[in-house]
Amino acid sequence: MKKRISAAALSLILFLAIFSFIPFNTVYAASKITLADAREIALKDAGLEENDVTIAKAKTEYVLGVKQYEIVFYYGTTEYSYEIGVTGDIISSEVELESIHAEENPRESLDDTNPSSNTSSITEDDALEIALADASYTKDDLRYSKVTKDYIDGRGIYEVLFIVGRYQYSYDIEIETGNIINYEVS
């Protein structure tokens, strides 16, 4: 009698273990996306259609043993770069804008006698406000922010870094014009 109860209990436990695992596994497997799905997610996030862009890279990669997709594409002179998880979540995104202004007369931006290169059109506070407005946040939303002055290709920029929630935002903003030249969200 004792063996029958033990065998029945063991059978019941085995039955529950097998059938309770199947629905979880099925749901998990259904939530995985393909490389083509990741490409569509990136394009949708950028607000672009596939026939309007040039896909430069679409590949599967493993970061610390975790599968993810890397998608890079161009729209005009703008480069979009995405890392997307297998569940469809955007891990990080970066948009890099090519500025034609800097290449029109590169010596002008390096000339210290040029009054336009010695005056800032925007301040550090302006740069932070530009970045926050682009990301649809205000100073009240910030957990952390930092603005530093730097130079890229001979032109002055503000590097703006801020954290809202669990996301970190990084912007490069041209001092002369206030234009965003690059941004990244991770």
> Which H, E and C letters describe 6-63, residue by residue?
HHHHHHHHHHHHHHHHHHHHHHHHHCCCCHHHHHHHHHHHHCCCHHHCEEEEEEEEEE
pLDDT tens per residue across span 91-123: 999 888 765 444 443 334 334 434 444 454 899
Q: Do 17 and 38 have their domain in common? A: no
Q: Do 126 and 170 have their domain in common? A: yes
Tally of domains within the chain? 3
Last residue of a domain, one of 40, 63, 98: 98
Tell me which residue range forms the domain holding 57.
31-98
Take residue 131 and report the two structure tokens written for it.
């970045």
- Is residue 126, in this structure, part of any structural domain at all? yes
Question: Hey, how many other C-beta atoms are within 10 angstroms of the C-beta on 155?
Answer: 20
Q: Do 131 and 78 have their domain in common? A: no
pTM beyond 0.85: the answer is no
CA separation for the pair 46, 69 (Å, rounded):
16
Q: Do 46 and 93 have their domain in common? A: yes
- Per-residue confidence (pLDDT) for residue 167, from 0 to 100: 87
Q: Which residue has the tokens 């290449």?
A: 103
In the sheet with 66-75, reading across from the earlier edge strand, the strands are 54-63, 66-75, 78-85, 90-97, 180-185, 167-174, 155-164, 144-152
What is the overall mean pLDDT for the chain? 79
pLDDT at 74 over 80: yes
- Is residue 170, in this structure, part of any structural domain at all? yes
- Is residue 103, in this structure, part of any structural domain at all? no
Confidence of residue 19 (pLDDT cuts 50, 70, 90): low
CA distances from 143 to 80, 121, 139, 163 (A): 26, 27, 9, 5
pLDDT tens per residue across span 120-176: 489 999 999 999 999 999 999 998 999 999 888 788 999 999 999 888 899 999 999
- Per-residue confidence (pLDDT) for residue 86, from 0 to 100: 94
pLDDT tens per residue across span 59-68: 999 988 899 9
- Is residue 106, in this structure, part of any structural domain at all? no
Q: Do 24 and 40 have their domain in common? A: no
- Terminal Cα-to-Cα distance of the chain (whole angstroms): 62
Last residue of a domain, one of 72, 98, 124: 98
| Residue among 154, 150, 149, 173 at smallest CA distance from 106 | 154
- Is residue 5, in this structure, part of any structural domain at all? yes
Residues 6+ apart with CB under 8 A from 136: none
Q: Say which CATH number the domain at 45 has.
A: 3.10.450.40
